[in-house]
Structure 1
């Protein structure tokens, strides 16, 4: 995670590859050039860097407040399940937050649906209403209603 101009840039998901050591922002981009760019250009550069043809590297950009919320909630409730809609039902992915990484099972399907998973994670960890499902999953698993999660995502069982 990197902070730049009141914008927090998070690399959320990496799949199918060995996780390397954390890099500094200066190792990832030419910092002196990046500082000359507008907010929108920085976002575009960051997202372009964190995408590739195989879909094995996905990034997202959050505000500082959103990232603080995500990080606090990921520490409090590090695991969740995400049903990923498919033409014939759904596939359930298990998510485990080990900040600054988020690990996701079901790698082959994830590679094809990385953007969807990233946006779902963002929604469930940032939205207070949606986060209740994540919190219940982690802290009161006997009360977790997977059917409610499916209904929330308009996925038919």
Structure 2
């Protein structure tokens, strides 16, 4: 059996994540699966990191060990690895990522209502590929670019050409602001507004024809009540 590629505390000192290590007893999933592809065992994120500080893919997984895997196998391993670890894992086809990247050049910002209880809180997002950054709209209004991100998403394109696969990783910066399920919903919903032609018209309107933008149209697109 191949050994786990552990990172020492010192090697993560300059990274935006905590450097705690997980023992085998703390890891509830199939360890053989991760050993076989050389995943780096990491802890949960630390609060207050800079979401645009690069977290290289090879600091998460041994890329060379994935090169001979089928795309579906890579996607399954990547998704399962992130379950229950304080991160969100997903994948998409390269063609869809290129569409998102192209559209984000023209329209970097949008707002998404996050439903909670009997109402919603509005989340402001900025797409700066390979990142999407989410924060509260009220925080952004108050602090502008100094507003702390609630959640950041990074797209890894190392397998886009060879496997037609882009790996997606989301990191919740403040667990007091978002739950894992809320973060996953935001990530999927943001992608839908950039990849769906009908929904993207709202993104265009928000960025290019602001005077014609109506937030109620976003609510209707998401089947949310207009309060």
* Fold match (TM-score > 0.5): yes
> Are 1:139 and 2:208 an aligned pair?
yes
User: Among 64, 68, 74, which residue is 1:36 paired with?
Assistant: 68
Distance in 2 separating the partners of 1:51 and 1:72: 30
Distance in 1 separating the partners of 2:207 and 2:89: 25
RCO comparison, higher one (Cα < 8 Å, 6+): 1
Distance in 1 separating the partners of 2:210 and 2:82: 34
8 Å Cα contact 1:60/1:118 also seen in 2: no
Q: 1:36 to 1:17 in 2, by over 3 A?
A: farther
Structure 2: gaps spanning 5 or more residues: 1-44, 137-149, 151-175
Following TM superposition, by how much is the alpha carbon of 1:120 offset from its aligned partner in structure 2, in angstroms? 0.2
The TM-score, its normalising length taken from structure 2, stands at: 0.56
Task: Give the strand-richer structure, 1 or 2.
Answer: 1
CA RMSD in angstroms, aligned pairs only: 2.2
* Paired position in structure 2 for 1:21: 54
8 Å Cα contact 1:15/1:111 also seen in 2: no
* Paired position in structure 2 for 1:152: 221
Following TM superposition, by how much is the alpha carbon of 1:51 offset from its aligned partner in structure 2, in angstroms? 5.2
* Paired position in structure 1 for 2:29: none
Distance in 1 separating the partners of 2:89 and 2:117: 26
> Are 1:121 and 2:154 an aligned pair?
no
8 Å Cα contact 1:71/1:99 also seen in 2: yes
User: Among 164, 178, 188, which residue is 1:110 paired with?
Assistant: 178
> Are 1:47 and 2:79 an aligned pair?
yes
Q: 1:45 to 1:126 in 2, by over 3 A?
A: same
Task: Give the helix-richer structure, 1 or 2.
Answer: 1
Structure 1 residues 56-67: aligned runs within 5 Å: 57-67=87-97
Q: 1:51 to 1:75 in 2, by over 3 A?
A: farther
Q: 1:15 to 1:153 in 2, by over 3 A?
A: farther
Distance in 2 separating the partners of 1:65 and 1:26: 23
- Describe the SS at the equivalent of 2:113: strand
Q: 1:89 to 1:105 in 2, by over 3 A?
A: same
* Paired position in structure 2 for 1:94: 124
Structure 1: gaps spanning 5 or more residues: 1-13
Following TM superposition, by how much is the alpha carbon of 1:145 offset from its aligned partner in structure 2, in angstroms? 0.9
Q: How many residue pairs are counted as aligned between the two chains?
A: 141
